[in-house]
Amino acid sequence: MGKKEEYIYAGIPTFMGGDFIEESEIYKYDIIFLGIPCDYGASYRLGAKYAPRKLREYSFWDRIYGQTLYDLDTKKILKTNKFKIADLGDVFVDPTHPDKNQEAIKNKTYAIAKKSFPLICGGDHSVTYGSFIGVLKAMNEEYPDYEIGIIHFDAHLDVEKDYLNMPNVWHGNVFRRLIENRYLKGENLYTIGPRGLVEEEWFKYIQKEGINLYTSNDVKLRNIETIMNEILDKNKNKKIKFYITFDIDSIDSSYIFGTGTPQINGLNPFDCDKALQFMKNFDICGFDIVELNPTLDNSYNSFIIACELIYHFLAIGLRR
């Protein structure tokens, strides 16, 4: 944004080098980055609260700015989006008051979605609860005749119940809570990437609510583009916008070390890259990436993968 060229490692790391702004300036930008540094909603290995700062650091690799690029696969010249990107900083998260934080998250994402596009970095997956509700509220006001669904990438279903002393919304129950509290219909939730063995009760919940499930093996056997086209087809007669929530543990544990609850046999970056580029065919109203944990990946390779996926989503997958 008219700033001087610097080496990747130099300068103050706002997201993709965008302007650091106050809430009153949101309307001037196409994409607003927001960090939500929390990890009290994670049940196992903590550290996701350090992710927003680390993602900013690694986001310097890529620029959008409407560049003309040559696509080596299609042999075509590609024009990327000319988005003006800003960084709104982080939600003030009080680690001892999860419910209060959900309110703060909701208010921030509402303010962003009213005038721009929210690009959110958690935090553990509990942040998606407040974040989605904020975006939903803004969309209900701006586009009252639209439904708002979620395209959800994850190793896990995230439809569990309460768990020990975890907060009311924790990273294992976020979609059950959204459905229970009537912010989301199961039929508008598309979950891509779960795998392995799960409790029967969770699977019954998925079936009862009509949640659309595409397992990691479905993606491998059927091809990600087939699946994305199927989702598109299911919604062709609907006025619907989608919020994307990307749990980094959807990707296989051999690629992503930097996450609290990794699982084998996951999606590969190729699948995710294709899926996020395919989003140009949908009406997308928000995006979050969650569960990155820099304390578990000293190479920060997980962040390089995450940033490249976000870059391709912004450059190719997001049409506004």
Q: Which residues bind Mn ion (CB under 5 A)?
A: 125, 154, 158, 247
Q: How far is the CB of 250 from Mn ion (least distance, A)?
A: 8
> Quick one: CA dihedral 208, 214, 216, 222, positive or negative?
positive
Cβ closer to Mn ion: 112 or 174? 174
Q: How far is the CB of 316 from Mn ion (least distance, A)?
A: 25
Cβ closer to Mn ion: 62 or 252? 252
DSSP H/E element including 179: helix 174-180
Which CA distances in Å does 60 have to 152, 229, 303? 26, 32, 11
- The C-alpha torsion from 101 through 104 and 108 to 111, rounded to 10°, is 150
Q: How far is the CB of 40 from Mn ion (least distance, A)?
A: 15
Q: How far is the CB of 230 from Mn ion (least distance, A)?
A: 22
Cβ closer to Mn ion: 65 or 257? 257
What are the DSSP E strand ranges found in 53-205? 68-71, 76-79, 85-90, 117-122, 147-153, 189-192
Which CA distances in Å does 189 have to 27, 176, 244? 29, 11, 10
Q: How far is the CB of 115 from Mn ion (least distance, A)?
A: 28
For residue 221, the one-letter residue type is: L
Cβ closer to Mn ion: 49 or 125? 125
Cβ closer to Mn ion: 14 or 173? 173
> Quick one: CA dihedral 134, 137, 140, 146, positive or negative?
positive
Q: How far is the CB of 291 from Mn ion (least distance, A)?
A: 6
Q: How far is the CB of 171 from Mn ion (least distance, A)?
A: 6
> Would you tell me how many other CB atoms lie within 10 Å of the CB of residue 8?
13
Cβ closer to Mn ion: 43 or 57? 43
Could you give the CA distance from residue 245 to residue 286 in angstroms, rounded to a whole number?
A: 8
Structure tokens at 81: 């989006």
Cβ closer to Mn ion: 247 or 297? 247
